Structure 1
């Protein structure tokens, strides 16, 4: 059998691979140049790009800002806030919070280690594998956004939330999870509808166990 066809395919594949590598290198160079510029804000929503393989979908600026303000209001003076798998809310809180507020980000994506001691590596499969500094019932409010719309993910994330929370919980997840959220965490759906920077197939809603000040717009 003539091997010329196979050679053409191999050459094409090598050429395509090289083109892809060049493209990604250019993309990375552009991102690096932006991040080194004077206008770069590492706490802005989108400063770390979404990774769909990790089921990451950032909230819109307006939604993230609303939820951040709610968290600060709910935590009170000298408050302590935990954001579980909710980096865009964490970013907005950091942009608003004073020195009297403590906030941490529990997140699987190690790119967020750029936030130093605020970052806590978190895998919902090991919900209580937390550092000693995150003590039981140490947070005035816990905000959580389980990465997957599954009962298993919700139940395991709920273990973390219950462990950390002094009482107040604000959780964002799909509307289809309402019954499970009520069953597992005792939360009720609120009027506020969170929006994302990209359109999602599943409608998202907020759930809390306390009266919040957010209305039905985002």
Structure 2
């Protein structure tokens, strides 16, 4: 066997490895999408836990925003936003990662991407969650109260490298600005069921959620 044959073998091996990796990634994407679809259909809102799912269009838009804002190989932390996390799993392409911090243990099916979270104990976090280790934190506090937002703020500031996407009632605008330095976006999020309180999104960075063209998705 001459040097040319050796080179051909190396090229074949590299090509075979790349093909295998592409196949494995495709299989993972299908598994994640299937799992996400299953739980989107099977897990219903629990109003006792103050759960209100976003409609599909809103969940998709917020997931896309989080992916873009997190950058290449970004890390996304979803706090009390399971419907957005599920949409992220459907969109997963191997170029970002996401975890879900959630009180509802039904979502523990997501394995080590699920972290039990109780906002009453905002710094009682898993040891694997290092400070400032997520490119963006997207959060929807379960209650419209100063106590709830104030406690969750501690978690958000601990986890984020800087970017924050907050979803909560319009009545929380002043407190949100004070605690998290976020501004209300023009984008109007919608839920599967109508809420009594006006609901809005807030960011502390320049976001496409503030473009007029996104007002009526």
TM-score norm. by structure 2 comes to 0.80
Indicate whether 1:196 and 2:195 are aligned: no
State how many pairs are aligned. 179
Q: For residues 1-218 of structure 1, what are the structure 2 equivalents within 5 Å?
A: 41-44=34-37, 45-214=40-209, 215-218=214-217
CA deviation digits over 1:38-92, x for unaligned, max 9? xx94313344211000000000000000000000001111110000000000000
Q: Return 74-83 or 42-51, whichever deviates more.
A: 42-51
CA deviation digits over 1:91-120, x for unaligned, max 9? 001110222311000000000001111100
Deviation beyond 6 Å, 4+ runs, structure 1:
none
- Conserved 8 A contact 1:175-1:205: yes
CA deviation digits over 1:7-27, x for unaligned, max 9? xxxxxxxxxxxxxxxxxxxxx
- Conserved 8 A contact 1:46-1:58: no
Q: CA separation in 2, counterparts of 1:144 and 1:162?
A: 11
Q: CA separation in 2, counterparts of 1:116 and 1:217?
A: 35
* Cross-structure match for 1:30: none
Show structure 2 runs of 5+ residues with no match. 1-32
Q: CA separation in 2, counterparts of 1:183 and 1:127?
A: 18
CA deviation digits over 1:124-180, x for unaligned, max 9? 001011112110000000000000000000001111000000010000000011111
CA deviation digits over 1:180-213, x for unaligned, max 9? 1011111000001110000110010000001111
Cα separation, partners in 2 of 1:146 and 1:46, compared to 1, 3 Å? farther
Show structure 1 runs of 5+ residues with no match. 1-39
- What CA RMSD, in Å, does the superposition of the two structures yield over aligned residues? 1.2
Q: CA separation in 2, counterparts of 1:62 and 1:80?
A: 22
